[in-house]
Amino acid sequence: MIQNNVSLKNKNWFQTGGSARFFSAPTTVENLLNALSYAQKNKLNIFVLGGGANALISDNGFDGLVIQPQLTKISHEHIDDQHVLVHAGAGVHMPKLISYCLDNNILGLEEFSGTPGTMGGAAYNNMHYFQFSLSDFMVQGTVIERATGKTFDVPAKWFNLGYDSSKLHEKKHILTNLTLKLKKATDLEVAHARGRRKEIIRHRLARYPSAGTCGSFFRNFHPHEVSLEVPGTNKKMIYVAYYLDKVGVKGALNVGDAVVSYQHSNMLVNKGNATSNDLIELARIMQKKVKDEFGITPKQECELVGFKEFPLL
């Protein structure tokens, strides 16, 4: 169940990075608990990997145990005339869950069409696209407490879901299952939702890169972090892409095969042979440009894995 020296390069969307000293992909909660106790016995650091859609892994890899839960069960139950509870394992990928829902006349998640990653990663950062967040649908989760191996069913409130944040950032728990409250739909409504899914994916492909990237690399600013206001309003300019656009990085900067996308200034792309170090160097240049011009430093949304020292500004 525990493998040695497993390359992580093909397990993340940047397609960069070194190997995990130990690796486990448990298909049951029992196996996940066994992996956890192996790590405890051997005093290993743990990193929980979902689909690797929001992770930049050090070229030196991860000196510990990487656990990639393959808990992939999906089921649903009707709770009233209008609503359905959908239960999904932490290893279920969002595109697969959307298909399951549409096939079973269930609506809501199609708003996340084209967004990769597992339920574990989605809960970790409260997956969001335009006005929708996972927290709009989440009602419950099941987590394992890392220190004790105890399993808890917890309400959505427990996760303290915010913008790009949740209690899972404390790294004290591993999500094993998620319950979402979604809407029952007629065949006609499902046909509309399938069209919407296609349209969202078409729109995304026209606006964002779809491979060799982790999506947005930096998070938006919190209002208290910036002073600039959106002209004609009393709202703060929180969008990090605005500042990156202003310093002219879009499609204009590269370190080796690591480039800033020509489609979106907040997306770094591995064009082929970039290393994680190339991506880090590029990200630092972007941070420095914004800092020099506006006095604020963009902070990463992408999870940095296995770096001995924090590599960004």
Ligand X SMILES: Cc1cc2nc3c(=O)[nH]c(=O)nc-3n(C[C@H](O)[C@H](O)[C@H](O)COP(=O)(O)OP(=O)(O)OC[C@H]3O[C@@H](n4cnc5c(N)ncnc54)[C@H](O)[C@@H]3O)c2cc1C
Q: Which residues bind ligand X (CB under 6 A)?
A: 13, 47-55, 69, 90, 115-118, 120-122, 124-125, 127-129, 168, 174-175, 210, 213-215, 303
Question: Cβ of residue 39: shortest distance to ligand X, in angstroms?
Answer: 14
Question: Comparing C-alpha atoms, which of 28, 95, 5, 17 is closest to residue 61?
Answer: 17
**What is the token pair recorded at 168?**
């899972």
User: How many whole angstroms separate alpha carbon 266 and alpha carbon 290?
Assistant: 12
User: How many whole angstroms separate alpha carbon 217 and alpha carbon 69?
Assistant: 24
Question: Cβ of residue 168: shortest distance to ligand X, in angstroms?
Answer: 5
Which lies closer to ligand X via its Cβ, residue 116 or residue 298? 116
Distance, C-alpha 232 to centroid of its chain: 34
Which lies closer to ligand X via its Cβ, residue 23 or residue 47? 47
Degrees, nearest 5: CA angle 178-184-185: 130
Question: Cβ of residue 11: shortest distance to ligand X, in angstroms?
Answer: 8
Question: Cβ of residue 219: shortest distance to ligand X, in angstroms?
Answer: 10
Which lies closer to ligand X via its Cβ, residue 6 or residue 55? 55
Question: Cβ of residue 229: shortest distance to ligand X, in angstroms?
Answer: 26
Which lies closer to ligand X via its Cβ, residue 105 or residue 136? 136
- Looking from the CA of 80 toward its CB, the CA atoms found within 13 Å total 5
Which lies closer to ligand X via its Cβ, residue 278 or residue 303? 303
CB neighbour class for 310 (10 Å; exposed up to 12, middle 13-18, buried from 19): exposed
Task: Report residue 248: phi and psi, to 5°.
Answer: 70, 35
User: How many whole angstroms separate alpha carbon 176 and alpha carbon 89?
Assistant: 6
The residue with tokens 């499902």 is 190
Which lies closer to ligand X via its Cβ, residue 32 or residue 294? 32
Question: Cβ of residue 94: shortest distance to ligand X, in angstroms?
Answer: 7
